[in-house]
């Protein structure tokens, strides 16, 4: 069986504004190295079947501390709520935004915030 190393994910909610907005469509590179400053997609540690888009803040023991860019967003949840996210729940690193066309951008690995 061939495993495709890419995944598409749509942003819902305001927790990552202004860098990412609701409706942004992202390309995620499955697996690979994750570093502080990267935007990643992870399985929600408490809600089976839900994925989250967050920024890597730091390494904490056997997991990653993942934070929202917009801590004031309504309904925001991140490591401040659940603690560090284990490696096995981090699905991959966001490498590009392909929608909407006016905001198409490539996210450089480990270089901080993506273009807004």
- Token pair 């590179």 in the structure block, residue: 29
> Residue 110: what pLDDT?
60
Chain segment 48-82, per-residue pLDDT in tens: 889 999 999 999 888 999 999 999 999 999 999 99
| Three-class secondary structure of residue 82 per DSSP | helix
- Cα(96)–Cα(7) distance, rounded to whole angstroms? 11
* Other residues' Cβ atoms within 10 Å of the Cβ of residue 10: 11
> Residue 52: what pLDDT?
96
Chain segment 3-56, per-residue pLDDT in tens: 778 889 999 999 999 999 999 999 999 987 889 999 999 999 998 889 999 999
Quick one: which of 65, 77, 13 has its CA closest to 38? 65
> Residue 19: what pLDDT?
93
* Topology adopted by domain 6-103: Umud Fragment, subunit A (2.10.109)
Torsion sign, CA atoms 42, 87, 112, 93: negative
> Residue 42: what pLDDT?
96
- pTM given for the model: 0.88
């Amino acid at each position: 069986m061939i495993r495709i190393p890419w995944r598409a994910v749509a942003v819902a909610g305001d927790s990552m504004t202004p860098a990412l907005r609701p409706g942004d469509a992202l390309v995620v590179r499955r697996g690979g190295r994750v570093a502080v400053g990267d935007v990643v997609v992870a399985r929600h540690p408490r809600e089976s079947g839900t994925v989250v888009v967050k920024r890597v803040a730091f390494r904490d023991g056997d997991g990653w501390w993942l934070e929202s860019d917009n801590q004031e967003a309504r309904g925001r949840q991140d490591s401040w709520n659940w603690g560090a996210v284990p490696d096995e729940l981090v699905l991959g690193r966001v490498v590009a935004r392909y929608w909407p066309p006016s905001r198409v951008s490539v996210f450089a690995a480990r270089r901080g915030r993506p273009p807004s």
